[in-house]
């Protein structure tokens, strides 16, 4: 779909054209692990793994479900925000915020295995973007930002001492930086490090779509901190560029991972070279006369200390991307999939012998819009343009149910087949979400496009096509700042009854979800007001991207 590795010793940005927002990363030995936000989708907190900082795979999730019972339903924009990952004395720590519930910690000794049940180390609303830090003297600290929507103010960073085991906080928090007083409005996403006797806090400011990278430094953990802007968009096309992580290689190179918000496709991940000048980092490449860096479009891959012959071993150093296709031929659900809310075990069954997944219908309230169905099974967009073919069998569907493909953003749509009064109908479903605080409202429209009894009589297998096309670029105003070259995409839904000839049914404009990129996926739902109470199912033979 999107390969960043150019195969010639160079890479291109973004390294992931997919919505892995708020990335943080670490190196442990020769392995890199990256973590990203997941909001109310589950499983939550994806763990990505790489050997070279360019080629990544999703290998695990920290959370099987989002903590707290209310995430039984999708709560768009809430849930798990920007996390941090750290490694200390043989243990991996993931610290993550839930802005309404608190700051949580989960641990493991094997990032590919089970993570511990999360512990809420700071209950209460307001704090976000936490990052733990262990000093040489054995003391530990936590730095965090704040969400104005939950606490009434923003642009402030707090520091507090943490128990050395990471499972609680000690003493009172101290305000270490107020961006309202330093032209660093909306400073957030702090990540803490130490080098040459300085404590460093990398934190973006200026807003997700319009900001820059700021770094604070001090000889004292509680400050005072001085600051410097170390990366700006400059002449590049990388608006933002927003929060991320400083990592190094075994050869001593320094690199910075961060995201860029490209609107509909979400917050995609970039990799920048980094160097030091007068004990300040410079991220990207600084042009003549500039004491800050600008993002690169292409660059030499990181030197990970391997020979060309070693790097040619694709089993150890593959050129790869996160998975998209699924033939459903294994006994576990692919890492590319997330549900719209915390899942139940009986929502699906895998049948690897037949290479299929059975989706069981889940009851939905009579007036619940498709965007709020609990059991949407979703993937991130994997590229600027693509198509996705889904083969689905409707022979197990019951009266009162509909199933098909869905596109989930603020503007959303679905192409579905409904069994109504014994007759199969093709449905076009469209809507747009509006939010009052955290409550979504939609103007969902459902239109019967065709009656399909003839097409479904002999063979109840249908092929759906979901296609994303870029239509051009626009300029927007964000916080009175111009953002240019914003990709514009449209989404087309099509259907085929033989897998070859497709009819385009309708097209919608792509618009990102609440803090997340557009996702596409599959579903089956049973309306709770149906006379028939028996629940059916559909089987999906494959999902294939191209």
Of 194, 142, 145, the C-alpha closest to 170 is 142
Beta carbons of 108 and 91 less than 8 angstroms apart? yes
Give yes or no: 172 in active site: no
Cα-based distances in Å from 301 to 171, 268, 272, 277, 322: 44, 18, 10, 22, 19
3-state SS record for 211-265? CEEEEEEECCCCCCCEEEEEECCCCCCCCCCCCEEEEECCCCCEEEEEEEECHHH
| SS3 call for 333 | coil
- Burial pattern 140-172, b for ≥16 Cβ within 10 A else e, equals bbbbbbbbeeeeeebbbbbbbbbeeebeebeee
Q: If 0-12 CB within 10 Å is exposed, 13-18 middle and 19+ buried, where does residue 534 land?
A: exposed
Of 406, 450, 458, the C-alpha closest to 424 is 450
Phi, psi of 42 (to 5 degrees): -140, 145
Distance CA 167, CA 119 (A): 7
CB atoms within 10 A of CB 10: 13
Sign of the Cα torsion 376, 380, 384, 389 reads: negative
- Burial pattern 74-105, b for ≥16 Cβ within 10 A else e, equals bbbbbbbbbbbbbeeeeebbbbbbbbbbbbbb
* Catalytic option among 19, 22, 24, 401: 22
Q: Is the peptide bond before 43 cis (omega within 30 degrees of 0)?
A: yes
Phi, psi of 71 (to 5 degrees): -85, 15
Question: Tokens 């929060």 correspond to what residue?
Answer: 243
Give yes or no: 188 in active site: yes
* Catalytic option among 5, 52, 188, 489: 188
Beta carbons of 218 and 197 less than 8 angstroms apart? no
Beta carbons of 127 and 143 less than 8 angstroms apart? no
- Burial pattern 484-495, b for ≥16 Cβ within 10 A else e, equals eebbebebbbbb
| SS3 call for 345 | helix
Cα-based distances in Å from 490 to 244, 385, 392, 434, 465: 29, 10, 24, 20, 14
3-state SS record for 343-394? CCHHHEEEECCCCEEEEECEEECCCCCHHHCCCCEEEECCCCCEEEEEEEEC
Helix, strand, coil % in the chain, rounded to nearest 5: 5, 50, 45
DSSP 8-state code for residue 38: -
Catalytic residues: 22, 188
């Amino acid at each position: 779909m999107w390969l960043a590795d150019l195969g010639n010793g160079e890479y291109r940005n973004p390294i992931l054209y997919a919505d892995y927002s708020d990335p943080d990363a670490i190196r442990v030995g020769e392995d890199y692990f990256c973590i990203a936000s997941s909001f109310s989708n589950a499983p939550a907190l994806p763990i990505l793994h790489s050997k070279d900082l360019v080629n990544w795979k999703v290998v695990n999730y920290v959370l099987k479900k989002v903590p707290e019972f209310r995430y039984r339903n999708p709560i768009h924009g809430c849930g798990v925000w920007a996390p941090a990952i750290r490694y200390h004395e043989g243990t991996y720590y993931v610290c993550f915020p839930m802005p309404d519930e608190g700051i949580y910690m989960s641990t493991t000794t094997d990032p590919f295995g089970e993570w511990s049940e999360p512990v809420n180390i700071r209950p209460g609303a307001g704090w976000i973007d936490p990052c733990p830090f262990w000093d040489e003297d054995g003391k530990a600290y936590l730095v965090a930002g704040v969400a104005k929507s939950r606490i009434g103010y923003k642009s402030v960073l707090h520091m507090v001492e943490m128990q050395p085991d990471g499972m609680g906080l000690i003493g009172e928090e101290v305000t270490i930086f107020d961006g309202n007083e330093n032209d660093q409005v909306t400073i957030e996403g702090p990540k803490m490090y130490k080098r040459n006797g300085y404590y460093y806090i990398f934190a973006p400011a200026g807003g997700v779509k319009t900001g820059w990278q700021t770094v604070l430094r001090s000889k004292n953990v509680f400050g005072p901190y001085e600051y410097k802007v170390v990366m700006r968009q400059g002449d590049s096309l990388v608006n933002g560029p927003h929060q991320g992580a400083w990592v190094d290689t075994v050869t001593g190179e320094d690199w910075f991972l961060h995201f860029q918000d490209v609107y509909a496709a979400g917050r995609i991940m970039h990799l920048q070279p980094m160097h030091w000048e007068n004990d300040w980092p410079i991220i990207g490449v600084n042009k003549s006369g500039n004491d800050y860096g600008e993002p690169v479009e292409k660059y030499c891959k990181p030197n990970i200390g391997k020979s060309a012959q070693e790097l040619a071993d694709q089993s150890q150093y593959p050129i790869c991307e996160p998975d998209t296709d699924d033939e459903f031929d294994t006994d576990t659900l692919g890492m590319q999939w997330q549900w719209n809310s915390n899942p139940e075990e009986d929502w699906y069954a895998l049948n690897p012998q037949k290479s299929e997944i059975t989706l069981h219908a889940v009851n939905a309230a009579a007036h619940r819009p498709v965007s709020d169905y609990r059991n949407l099974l979703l993937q991130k967009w994997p590229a600027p343009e693509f198509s996705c073919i889904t083969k689905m069998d409707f022979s197990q569907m019951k009266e009162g149910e509909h199933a098909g493909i869905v596109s989930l953003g603020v503007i959303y749509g679905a192409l579905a087949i409904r069994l109504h009064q014994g007759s199969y109908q093709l449905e076009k479903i469209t809507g747009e979400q509006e939010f009052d605080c955290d409550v979504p409202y939609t103007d969902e429209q459902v239109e019967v496009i065709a009656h399909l009894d003839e097409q479904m009589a002999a063979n109840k297998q249908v092929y759906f096509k979901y296609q994303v096309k870029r239509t051009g670029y626009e300029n927007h105003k964000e916080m009175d700042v111009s953002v240019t070259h914003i990709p514009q995409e449209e989404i087309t839904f099509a259907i085929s009854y033989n897998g070859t000839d497709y009819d385009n049914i309708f097209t919608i404009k792509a618009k990102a979800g609440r803090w997340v990129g557009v996702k596409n996926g599959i579903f089956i739902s049973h309306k709770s007001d149906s006379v028939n109470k028996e629940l059916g199912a559909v089987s999906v033979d494959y999902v294939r991207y191209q």
